[in-house]
């Protein structure tokens, strides 16, 4: 399997969920071995690599920070790029936060479809987990385990008539992500809106970009899936796992986890090289499932 980038540029614009700042986003093809790199166009194209060592404070969204330069809410865009098997890409942005758009990864999948995929002449490297690692906080936990395929399992439990216990399990591929997760939107509880606003968060939040749950229902139905909440948490998990910097050959299980636990898992994993190996050997299973049918391939080029 060879590394990929996108075939052509694609653009979108919109407001950031937490900052409320309007930004213009552009996906740009990148050469082999660059990885996924954000560039702050408003700061002389300052680069921030989508890698664990650049993770900043994490609460309600995942933020990256490098040399004091911040970029917020990377997870939905990264989930789409990572699931689509795009290894190398520049993400140009002229603001401090990735646009939230409709609160899901669907608009980013549409961008990636417009951009297409291009195969590069360098072999893809995988991060293959060989020893398990778990991060636990009370009854919340996330673990990563050896596997020949990239598989996630995500369990959520919220005391609410529309949520309750939901579990999603899948092998991650462009097709499964697109059909099972991409359309699942972010959500919040009405009772949390004022406290979050007072913390300076969700300044760009609206009924157009988040499901708002009331005491016994929702303000802006209908749901896109009965278990949209569990699916969105799995989407968030994949977006945070993108910060490992390489495609994973591993099974990841998240139990009532969130961005903080996800990113702790990534940081601890990368900090201990005895837990993984880098390989260009693709397993028979992954080769069979990792097709790019979701995106139209363009001719190979460097
Ligand atoms: Zn999310």
Q: Model confidence over 62-89: pLDDT tens digits?
A: 999 999 999 999 999 999 999 999 999 9
Distance 291 CA to ligand 1 centre (A): 26
What pTM was estimated for this model as a whole?
0.93
Helix (H, G, I), strand (E, B) or coil at 236: helix
Question: Alpha carbon of 88 to those of 49, 106, 251: distances in Å?
Answer: 11, 20, 23
Distance 213 CA to ligand 1 centre (A): 15
Q: CA angle at residue 83 from 81 to 87, to 5 degrees?
A: 55
- How far apart (Å, rounded) are the C-alpha atoms in residues 177 and 294? 10
Q: How confident is the model at residue 33 (pLDDT cuts 50, 70, 90)?
A: very high
- How far apart (Å, rounded) are the C-alpha atoms in residues 43 and 102? 27
Tell me the helix, strand and coil percentages in the chain, rounded to 5: 25, 35, 35
Please, are residues 8 and 124 in contact by the beta-carbon 8 Å criterion?
no
Distance 185 CA to ligand 1 centre (A): 7
Distance 235 CA to ligand 1 centre (A): 7
Catalytic residue list contains 259? yes
Q: Per-residue pLDDT averaged across 264-275, rounded?
A: 97
- Amino acid 296: pLDDT: 46
Helix (H, G, I), strand (E, B) or coil at 277: strand
Distance 7 CA to ligand 1 centre (A): 27
40 forms beta bridges with 46, 93
Q: Per-residue pLDDT averaged across 178-187, rounded?
A: 97
- Amino acid 297: pLDDT: 44
Q: How confident is the model at residue 285 (pLDDT cuts 50, 70, 90)?
A: low
- Amino acid 283: pLDDT: 65
Answer whether residue 287 shows pLDDT above 60: no
- Amino acid 289: pLDDT: 52
Distance 73 CA to ligand 1 centre (A): 8
In which element (H, E) is residue 240 found?
helix 228-241
Q: Write the DSSP symbol of residue 75.
A: H
Which tens digit of pLDDT belongs to each residue from 222-241? Answer: 999 999 999 999 999 999 99
- The residues whose Cβ lies within 5 A of ligand 1, an ion, are 186, 236
**What tokens were used for 229?**
């909440």
Which tens digit of pLDDT belongs to each residue from 210-222? Answer: 999 999 999 999 9
Average pLDDT score, the chain: 93
Which one from 259, 262, 289, 290 is the annotated catalytic residue?
Answer: 259
297 forms beta bridges with 117
Tell me the HSE value of 147 on the side-chain side, using a 13 A CA sphere: 20
């Amino acid at each position: 399997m060879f590394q990929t980038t996108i075939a052509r540029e694609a653009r979108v614009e919109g407001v950031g969920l937490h900052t409320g700042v309007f930004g213009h986003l552009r996906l740009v093809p990148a050469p082999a071995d660059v990885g996924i790199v954000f560039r702050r166009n408003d700061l002389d194209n300052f680069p921030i690599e989508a890698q664990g060592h650049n993770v900043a404070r994490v609460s309600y969204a995942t933020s990256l920070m490098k040399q004091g330069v911040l970029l917020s809410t990377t997870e939905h865009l990264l989930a789409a790029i990572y699931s689509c098997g795009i290894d190398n890409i520049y993400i140009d942005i002229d603001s401090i936060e990735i646009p939230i758009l409709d609160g899901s990864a669907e608009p980013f999948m549409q961008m990636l479809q417009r951009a297409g995929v291009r195969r590069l002449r360098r072999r893809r490297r995988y991060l293959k987990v060989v020893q398990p690692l778990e991060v636990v906080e009370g009854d919340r936990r996330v673990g990563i385990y050896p596997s020949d395929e990239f598989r996630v399992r995500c369990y959520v439990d919220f005391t609410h008539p529309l949520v309750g216990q939901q579990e999603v399990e899948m092998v991650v591929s462009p097709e499964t992500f697109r059909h099972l997760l991409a359309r699942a939107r972010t959500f919040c509880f009405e009772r949390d809106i004022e406290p979050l606003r007072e913390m300076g968060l969700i300044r760009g939040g609206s009924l157009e970009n988040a499901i708002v749950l009331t005491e016994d229902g929702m303000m802006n139905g209908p749901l896109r899936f009965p278990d949209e909440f569990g699916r969105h948490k799995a989407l968030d998990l994949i977006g945070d796992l993108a910060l490992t910097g390489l495609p994973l050959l591993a099974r990841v299980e998240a139990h009532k986890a969130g961005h903080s636990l996800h990113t702790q898992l990534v940081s601890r994993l990368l900090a201990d090289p005895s837990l993984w190996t880098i390989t260009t050997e693709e397993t028979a299973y992954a080769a069979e499932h990792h097709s790019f049918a979701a995106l139209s391939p363009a001719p190979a080029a460097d």
